[in-house]
Amino acid sequence: MLKEFKVFILRGNVLDLAVGVIIGAAFTALVKSLVDNLINPLVGIFVHDGALAKLSFKIGGAKFTYGAFLNDVLNFLITAFVIFILIKAINKVFSGKENEEEILINEEIETLKEIRDLLAEK
């Protein structure tokens, strides 16, 4: 059982996933810093409290901090946009290579078919 676990952990997909999670956490911290330190002060110019996260209202004894929610939505949108741009760039890079490989494979297949036909004639 320990040997199977070692094989599972050392499999490429698990390691790739672990790297992705670690980089994702670091990227999330970077986006949070961007929103908190650059975007919120800009929003603070238009909001009297000075920070988006401080916006709230009370109904009875309940306090609704809609500013914190808007802050989280902003973090999400920035993260999603950057990931979208990265995936788009990665797809652009790899789509060209696949077409080149497909052309090479087709040429090899055609060459092999010609050789097969020549051998069949003899």
Question: Residue 114 falls within a domain, yes or no?
Answer: no
Q: Is the pLDDT of residue 114 over 60?
A: yes
**The domain spanning residue 78 has which CATH number?**
1.10.1200.120
In the chain, % of residues over pLDDT 90: 1
Which of residues 91 and 9 earns the better pLDDT score? 91
pLDDT digits over 60-106, tens only? Answer: 889 888 888 888 888 888 888 888 888 888 888 877 655 566 666 67
Helix (H) or strand (E) holding 62: strand 62-64
Which of residues 120 and 102 earns the better pLDDT score? 120
Question: Residue 27 falls within a domain, yes or no?
Answer: yes
Question: Residue 107 falls within a domain, yes or no?
Answer: no
Q: Look at residue 89 in the predicted model and tell me its pLDDT.
A: 85
Q: Is the pLDDT of residue 46 over 60?
A: yes
Question: Residue 105 falls within a domain, yes or no?
Answer: no
Domain limits for position 92? 2-96
Q: Look at residue 98 in the predicted model and tell me its pLDDT.
A: 55
Which of residues 89 and 6 earns the better pLDDT score? 89
Q: Look at residue 101 in the predicted model and tell me its pLDDT.
A: 61
Question: Residue 117 falls within a domain, yes or no?
Answer: no
Rounded distance between C-alpha atoms, residue 54 and residue 65, angstroms: 7
Question: Residue 115 falls within a domain, yes or no?
Answer: no
Q: How many CB atoms lie within 10 A of CB 22?
A: 10
Helix (H) or strand (E) holding 34: helix 12-34
Residue recorded with tokens 């956490």: 25
Is residue 40 within 8 A of residue 71, CB to CB? The reply is yes
pTM for the full model?
A: 0.51
Total domains present in the chain:
1
Question: Residue 15 falls within a domain, yes or no?
Answer: yes
Question: Residue 108 falls within a domain, yes or no?
Answer: no
